[in-house]
Amino acid sequence: MLQFLMQLINGLNSGSIYALIALGYTMVYGIAKLINFAHGDIIMVGAYVCFLCLTTWKLPLAAAIAISIVACTLLGIVIEKVAYKPLRNASRISLLITAIGISYLLQSSFQLIFTANPKPFPTIISLPALTIGGISIAATYYITFLVSVILMVALHLFVQKTKTGKAMRAVSEDAGAAQLMGININKTISITFGIGSALAAVAGILYCASYPMVTPYIGSLPGIKAFIAAVLGGIGSIPGAVLGAFILGLVEALTKAYLSSRMSDAIVFIVLIVMLVFKPSGILGKNVKEKV
Amino acid sequence: MTILQVTDLGINFGGLRAVDRFNLTIEENQLYGLIGPNGAGKTTVFNMLTGVYEPTDGKISLEGKMLNHKTCHQIAQMGIARTFQNIRLFNDLSVIENVKMGLYHQYKYSLFDALFKTRKFFACEKAMTDEAMQLLEVFHLHTYAKIKAKNLPYGKQRELEIARALATHPKLLLLDEPAAGMNPQETNELMETIQKVRDQFHIAILLIEHDMKLVMGICEKITVLNYGSVLACGTPEEIQNNHEVVKAYLGD
Amino acid sequence: MKKRYQALSFWKKTAVNLTAVLVVYAAIMGLSAVGIVNKYYMGILLSTCINIILVVSLNVTTGFLGQLTLGHAGFMAVGAYSAAFLSKNLSGLPDALVFILALMVGGIVAMIFGVIVGVPTLRLKGDYLAIITLAFGEVIKNVLLNLDIVGGASGYIGIPRYSNFSWAYWLAVLTVGATMALINSRQGRAIISVREDEIAAEASGIDTKRFKILAFVFAAFFAGVAGGLYGHYMGILEPKTFKFDKSIEILVMVVLGGMGSIRGSVIAAIILTVLPELLRSVASLRTLMYAIALIAMMLFKYDPNLVKMTAKVKNKFRKAGKSA
């Protein structure tokens, strides 16, 4: 029983990180109909910038985090402007390939700067562990969970209540109509990319708080998994991304513990396949039929 | 002889009853019109007849054979061909290749024949090309044979769609707003073309149209659809003199 | 001269093509015999041929069927592993026969996976289809990682090295020929019609489901053969070779060669296999340059502003050339 609860907590931990990343995927897909393959690598950038701030420039933690978030936000906006915006009317495949190109660009440039050798990430959370009913929950776990939940709620309120948030939703529904209503599409899309990248930066920092090794490739696998989570929950749906991420985190943790840790990745993908066969629009997604 | 028998056809979309108790009988070689205001359900009827939508209730039979649970391509093979409201051509294929698509089931050779370029392959391909050219000549499209379908002018694209539909050797041809976007002269030519097609290919034609000159000019029988139900059914004279129809659709 | 070629009948064209292909083969073999083309370069040429097979076969699903598939490396993997398994466990037959059987088995097993992957995709389109093929590719790789009977993560070793340039070359020629034959047939046109307009294809009597599966199966078969060639060249197979990156590598070649263009696929495969090898000296910069080149090519091909600019520059050169 204790073991089971521990696994649940593990699952919630990875789920929180996946959620932060998945939100970026789902928002960008909703608004630009683009699967931003480079999104996973923004996590890596966030981690490295924070690493640089803490170790080389010896800045205080708050500053490091802030700089990392700002850097990633700017990076996301710049990537969108330079690589995705010009291709907005091109085919899906071209956008996909460009996104893949950006992903490789980020990975290889950071490999050139930092080499592929893993760098130890300094401990940033040195709070005591929480003990509930016999289980000891490490500080990284509850901090990750808390931060993620706070950010998710903040995002939800932003999207629902603010003017910009409503603009984001409008552009996702119908970009043409939104434009006719006076909404600045370019600005809205840039903001979406910015927010997604900022969340990715936080995800990167939290990831390294739990697994303190940075390499240029740390964004790859969590990126794909977060993407699966977004699809699972219904790509384009913000609550869907969160739901999908936690389900994925839990499935992964429980599979690793009770079935086979080697096959956990395969099982995650099989879950995705099953989902796509029976309900491609995801748990919370909508079915859109083509008009003949 | 009755080609198409539709009995009490109906369909629900969620809570909306889009088509209700739709009845239709089309005789061999008949030119039949389906008219009504926008949103009345005309294209929905087409979609049910061709298997794109599964009707909620009712029966459709073609020459006595039930069409109800058949798939789209099965119904096409059984003898109902159609054109679309928004032209659906194979844009990157040439004009003649579009027509050859319709001829797919008329000249059969296996994948083995295709890969090993047997005699049967060449014989079938030649026969396909010949028939495709003949079909194109009916519409004076043969000079455009090698041009990509997307580069054809609009009116000719509509005609190509009809040619492709005819290539499937249908018993019944459904035309969805064939005169849309045409000027009066083009509409006149289309009227002649439709009648020529009916006479030359011995098929029945059911068309959806808003252009009343065309409908009243060539249709032998007309059904009027309004809010998914049949409002009236009869000859052009009867329809034009039907008070309900005039009120709902034709105007005074 | 192009017009004269196009006016030839089918068999005459085929004769011309075959002659050209033979001449190239003879030239390469000749250069190799006199030592101008050494073993290292022959290896590159062999890899090029394997990539040609992969790119042309992927073009069938991505270019001709019009469905973005991101799991092509998975077909290559099952083909490679099953071919290797057969040749390692089959004894008593001459090498060439074992190799042919192994390649056939590789292709057939890959074909079976083509059906397994193809069937769930029948109801999906676009992005969802891409995602599910990606997922299948990863599942295959992961399963292979855990399949100890074929070496698991440490790799499948001791595969007899039957592959050589000749095998690869003629199998590449076979692949290109078969693909061209498929496309220029009613079945090939049906596949293309599914890409152009699936609803119109169904309305014309085409059973689109059948042709989607046909495209998948055809593509998978040749990917499997390519895998078999690869395994018997390297002598060892590792699951990590067949991850998502490999599928993307092949996809990039398809896109840059032009979707739906067999000739483009061949050219792109040649350029994108040879170029990275020539840049081996700057290995650390290689991925970076590859990424930049990729992004640049995408932008220059599809960004309307850049396309206009390039056209203007081209026009200026043309005018300058005329006045000179």
pLDDT digits (tens, 9 = 90+) for A132-148: 777 778 888 888 889 99
Q: Which residues of C touch A92 (CB under 8 A)?
A: 68, 126-127
Does A280 contact C138 at a Cβ distance shorter than 8 Å? no
Q: Give me the mean pLDDT over the C166-191 stretch.
A: 95
Per-residue pLDDT at B101: 94
Domain that includes residue B129, residue range: 95-167
Mean pLDDT of B94-108: 94
Q: What are phi and psi of A158, to 5 degrees?
A: -60, -45
Contact A277, C135 (CB under 8 A): no
State which of B124, B148, B167 marks the end of a domain. Answer: B167
B47 touches chain A (CB under 8 A): yes
The pLDDT confidence band at residue A68, using thresholds 50, 70 and 90, is very high
CA torsion B207-B213-B216-B218 (nearest 10°) is -60
Report the CATH number at residue B234.
Answer: 3.40.50.300
The confidence score (pLDDT) of residue C5 equals 75
Does the pLDDT at position A290 exceed 70?
no
Domains located in chain C, CATH noted = 38-323 (1.10.3470)
Instruction: Judge contact between A205 and A65, C-beta under 8 A.
Output: yes
The per-residue pLDDT for range C109-135, each reduced to its tens digit, is 999 999 999 998 898 877 788 888 989
Half-sphere exposure of B239 (CA within 13 A, CB side): 26
Are both B68 and B174 inside the same structural domain?
yes
For B16-48, write each residue's pLDDT tens digit.
999 999 999 999 999 999 999 888 899 999 999
> Do residues B37 and B9 share a domain?
yes
**Any B CB within 8 A of A288 CB:** no
Indicate whether B123 pLDDT > 90: yes
- Which chain C residues touch A287 with a CB distance below 8 Å? none
Question: Which value does ipTM take for this structure?
Answer: 0.91
Segment A209-258, tens digit of pLDDT? 888 889 998 888 899 899 889 989 988 888 889 999 999 999 999 888 88
From B147, B167, B187, the end of a domain falls on: B167
Determine, for residues C200 and B102 on separate chains, whether the beta-carbon distance falls below 8 Å.
no
- Alpha-carbon torsion C63, C287, A199, A210, what sign? positive
**Does the pLDDT value for residue B133 go beyond 80?**
yes
Q: Quick one: closest CA in A to B50, which residue?
A: A292
Higher-pLDDT residue of A115 and A244 is A244
Read off the pLDDT of residues C79-95 as tens digits, 9 standing for 90 and up: 999 999 999 998 888 98
- Say how far apart CA A217 and CA A229 lie, in whole Å: 20
Q: How close B237 comes to chain C (CA, Å)?
A: 33
Tell me how far the alpha carbon of residue A98 is from its chain's centroid: 19
* C295, C297, C305: best to mutate for the A interface, most A CBs within 10 A: C295
Does C172 or A9 have the greater pLDDT score?
A: C172
Query: pTM for the whole thing?
Result: 0.89
Tell which of B121, B150, B167 closes a domain: B167
Instruction: State the Cα torsion C78-C81-C84-C90 to the nearest 10°.
Output: -80
Tens digits of residue pLDDT in C229-266: 999 999 999 998 998 888 988 988 998 888 889 999 99
The C-alpha atoms of residue C158 and residue B140 are separated, in whole angstroms, by: 66
**Torsions phi, psi of C293, nearest 5?**
-60, -40
Residue B84 within a domain:
no
List all chains that touch chain C, counting a touch as 3 or more CB pairs closer than 8 Å: A, B
Is B89 a member of any domain?
A: no
Instruction: Enter the DSSP assignment of A258.
Output: I
Taking only the tens place, the pLDDT of each residue in C262-308 is 999 999 999 989 888 877 766 667 778 778 888 888 888 888 888 88
Residue A265: the pLDDT is 85
CB of C116 within 8 Å of a chain A CB? The answer is: no
Could you state, in order of their start, the residue ranges of all structural domains in chain A? 2-114+137-278
Confidence band for B80, pLDDT divided at 50, 70 and 90: very high
At C282 the pLDDT is 66
A2: contact with B, CB 8 A cutoff: no
Q: Which of C181, C192, C206 sits opposite B115 (nearest CB)?
A: C181
Assess whether B160 and B178 both reside in one domain.
no
Q: How confident is the model at residue A172 (pLDDT cuts 50, 70, 90)?
A: confident
In a domain, B88, yes or no: no
User: Is residue A228 within 8 angstroms of chain C, CB to CB?
Assistant: yes
C-alpha–C-alpha distance, residues B178 and B206, integer Å: 11
**CATH code that applies to domain A2-114+137-278:** 1.10.3470
Chain B positions contacting chain C at CB under 8 Å are 50, 52, 71-73, 76-77, 81-82, 84, 88-93, 97, 100-102, 104-105, 107, 109, 111, 114-117, 121-122, 124-125, 128, 164-165, 167-168
**Do residue C202 and residue B73 have CB atoms under 8 angstroms apart?**
yes
User: Does C106 score more than 60 pLDDT?
Assistant: yes
Q: Which of B73, B97, B109 sits opposite C207 (nearest CB)?
A: B73
Check: CB of residue A231 under 8 Å from CB of residue A272: yes
- Give the one of B72, B105, B114 whose C-beta lies nearest to C203's C-beta: B72
Minimum mean pLDDT range among A35-44, A90-99, B208-217, C60-69 = A90-99
* B175 and B250 part of one domain: yes
Is C30 at the interface with chain A, CB within 8 A? no
**Number of domains observed in the structure of chain B:** 2
The distance of C192 to chain B (nearest Cα, Å) reads 8
Q: Specify whether B201 is located in the same domain as B176.
A: yes
Q: Do C302 and A292 touch (CB under 8 A)?
A: no
Which of C113, C118, C132 has the alpha carbon at shortest distance from C210?
C118
A104 touches chain C (CB under 8 A): yes
Pick from C186, C187, C206, C211 the residue to mutate for testing the B interface (most B CBs within 10 Å).
C186
Chain A residue with minimal CA distance to B176? A292
Residues of C in contact with B84 (CB under 8 A): 199-200, 203
- Residue A171, pLDDT score: 87
| Touching partners of A (3+ C-beta pairs < 8 Å) | B, C
Using a CB-CB distance cutoff of 8 angstroms, which residues of chain A are in contact with residue B84?
292
CA distances from A31 to A171, A187, A192, A236 (A): 6, 12, 8, 8
A232 close to A248: Cβ distance less than 8 angstroms: yes
Q: What is the distance in angstroms between the Cα of A176 and the nearest Cα belonging to chain B?
A: 20
C6: contact with A, CB 8 A cutoff: no
Q: Letter for the amino acid at A194?
A: G
Q: Are the beta carbons of B105 and C205 separated by less than 8 Å?
A: yes
Is B251 in a helix, a strand, or coil?
coil
Lowest mean pLDDT among A153-157, B101-105, B228-232, C123-127: C123-127
Interface test with C, best of A94, A96, A97, A281 (most C CBs within 10 A): A97
In Å, the largest CA–CA distance within chain B is: 66
B63 and B132 fall within a common domain: no
- A292 and chain B: CB distance < 8 Å anywhere? yes
Q: Which chain B residues have a beta carbon less than 8 Å from that of C213?
A: none
Instruction: Kindly state the percentage of chain C with pLDDT values over 90.
Output: 54
**What does the mean pLDDT of chain A come to?**
88
Q: Which of the given ranges, B234-243, C177-186, C237-246, has the highest pLDDT on average? A: C177-186
Cα dihedral C253, C259, C265, C270 sign: negative
Backbone angles phi, psi at B18, to 5 degrees: -75, -35
Q: B139-171, pLDDT tens digit by residue? A: 999 999 999 999 999 889 999 999 999 999 999
Query: Nearest CA to CA, how far is B108 from chain C (Å)?
Result: 9
Given pLDDT bands bounded at 50, 70 and 90, which one contains residue C13? confident
Q: Which residues contact B122 (CB under 8 A, 6 or more apart)?
A: C10
Question: Are residue B223 and residue B198 in the same domain, yes or no?
Answer: yes
- Compute the distance between CA of residue A7 and CA of residue A101 in angstroms, rounded to an integer: 37
pLDDT at C315: 85
Sign of the alpha-carbon dihedral angle for C200, C201, C207, C211: negative
B191 plus B147 within the same structural domain: no
User: Which residues of chain B neighbour C196 with C-beta distances below 8 Å?
Assistant: 89-93
Q: Do B134 and B190 share a domain, yes or no?
A: no
